[in-house]
Amino acid sequence: MTSLHIPRVRRRRLGVAVAAFGLIASFLAAGPAAATPDPGDAPDGKRMSKELAADTRAAMENGDIPGVDEIVHSKNIKHLASVGKGALGSLNTDLAFQGRYAFAGNYDGFTIYDIGNPRSPKTVSQVLCPGGQNDISVSGNLLFLSTDSSRSDNSCNSTSQPASEKSSWEGMKIFDISDKRNPRYVAAVETACGSHTHTLVPGKRTVYVYVSSYFPSEDFPDCQPPHDGISVIKVPRKAPERSAVIDFPVLFPDGGNSGSEGSSYETTGCHDITAFPKKRLAAGACMGDGILMDISDPARPRVIDRVRDNTNFAFWHSATFSEDGDKVVFTDELGGGGAATCNAEVGPDRGANGIYDLKRRGHHRELVFRSYFKIPRHQADTENCVAHNGSLIPVRGRDIMVQAWYQGGVSVWEFTDSSRPKEIGYFERGPLSADTLTLGGSWSAYYYNGHIYSNDIAKGFDVLRVDDRRTAGAARVRLHELNVQTQPDYR
């Protein structure tokens, strides 16, 4: 492959501003959930060989990669603030937004930040409620939290318990957040194989929740194969305690990708779904398959096209529509988020994004592959790095995305020409360690009302600003609420 251009960077050392936090004592739990990135195991602190460690240190000294914990960024990105994780000591995960608040998931629970002043975010409250991975979203006065680790019961005081035990619980938790300082746990819904992620399709009176989960086993009473679909939960806004699973639509009647060809995983469910309610569409990233669904009836999603990439995609992880809904970006989480895959050995097409044009109309729509995009900055062998969660920066006439790459940092890139994507800005920290593979970096990086917010697995909550003529139009866009997996119509 051709050598990669490493842009000039402006460097400065990490400064961490830790906000005060209020811990909700009524939700104290007995212990943390097992922290396991999907779909593989977290790095176990494995030390590199002396040769690899020496190579990493030499690259740091040469300026090819930043030093341990050193912050670097392109000229058009500014780092405004950092807030530590506070009382929640496990892995930070996803983000959601409402008004002046950001909601941040963590394997131990969730945090609510006041981002009214993006330069100085404040921790409003923290809820300790273990249940990895605590994927999070909000709608009105309701907050939704996914539990995908087998627990002794559905309370926030639960402990880990084997999935082989019939009494074990996994699923969806629902909180009332009308008082941001005192969220109130109001409902729980058990779902088959738990809830790894979830997607909201909100209405005035009802919220439909698509629950994605996978990896069934004959040994798990509540997670039996085949597991070829998703759970659909109906949530009455005024009576969330009456929430219930109303259907389990089978999305893969043929069983999906068998995993017998190439590098792809076997499809045993979906990892993540992004709904575009205005377009009545949803895109699903389902392990070995990418799918397009008609959600005209949100209670009954229906697959209308399916694509595979057994050559370069290992694990279909997430999806993002373009602003006009005429493209879909799928991510490949090669190595499950716990491996060093942003290097010359892996190359530019694996552990990357796949960009697809959406052709034809109605029930005849089809996904057509155009290109791959991967960050053009090689990372150290001690850095877990792969395509992960991102969102659009809403600029009329352009398709620009901000995206997390774990220890590859935060990338701003453009895919207006779906055949020629390119990075236009970035922010990253140097490796957590020069000689040990340690899990860290940005899990989610999203644009919301003028700023970029990143939930760093190890470091905490970061606020960035992008100053670039290509993204300037986004400054006029203001939303009251953003769950990235429920894509808004920015127009």
Question: What's the chain's average pLDDT?
Answer: 90
Given a cut of 90, whether residue 343 has pLDDT beyond it is yes
Letter string b/e over residues 135-148, b meaning 16 or more CB atoms within 10 A of that residue's CB: bbbbbebbbbbbbb
Phi–psi pair at 362, nearest 5 degrees? 55, -140
Compute how many other C-beta atoms are within 10 angstroms of the C-beta atom of residue 57.
16
Share of the chain above pLDDT 70, in %: 90
Instruction: Dump pLDDT digits (tens) for 243-271.
Output: 999 999 999 999 999 999 998 999 999 99
CA dihedral of 371, 374, 377, 382, whole degrees rounded to 10: -150
Amino acid 353: pLDDT: 98
**CA 408/CA 95 separation, integer angstroms:** 18
Report residue 34 as tokens: 């097992």
Given a cut of 90, whether residue 217 has pLDDT beyond it is yes
C-alpha Rg value of the chain to the nearest Å: 21
**Please, are residues 126 and 94 in contact by the beta-carbon 8 Å criterion?**
no
Torsion sign, CA atoms 82, 423, 457, 66: negative
Amino acid 44: pLDDT: 52
Instruction: Dump pLDDT digits (tens) for 55-83.
Output: 888 888 888 899 999 999 999 999 999 99
Instruction: Dump pLDDT digits (tens) for 86-113.
Output: 999 999 999 999 999 999 999 999 999 9
Letter string b/e over residues 263-290, b meaning 16 or more CB atoms within 10 A of that residue's CB: bbbebbbbbbbbbbbebebbbbbbbbbb
Letter string b/e over residues 27-46, b meaning 16 or more CB atoms within 10 A of that residue's CB: bebeebbebbbbbeebbeee
Phi–psi pair at 312, nearest 5 degrees? -120, -20
Amino acid 11: pLDDT: 28
Query: Residue 184: CB partners within 8 Å, gap ≥ 6?
Result: 175, 176
CA proximity to 63, closest of 54, 72, 76, 51: 72
Instruction: Dump pLDDT digits (tens) for 371-422.
Output: 999 999 999 999 999 999 999 999 999 999 999 999 999 999 999 999 999 9
Given a cut of 70, whether residue 9 has pLDDT beyond it is no
Return the beta strands (E) in 374-415 as ranges.
390-393, 400-404, 410-414
Given a cut of 80, whether residue 24 has pLDDT beyond it is no
pTM of the model: 0.91
Instruction: Dump pLDDT digits (tens) for 111-139.
Output: 999 999 999 999 999 999 999 999 999 99
**CA 124/CA 115 separation, integer angstroms:** 10
Given a cut of 50, whether residue 16 has pLDDT beyond it is no
Least confident of 29-43, 189-203, 377-391: 29-43
For 10-482, CATH gives 2.130.10.10
**CA 375/CA 408 separation, integer angstroms:** 8
Q: Where are the domains of the chain?
A: 10-482
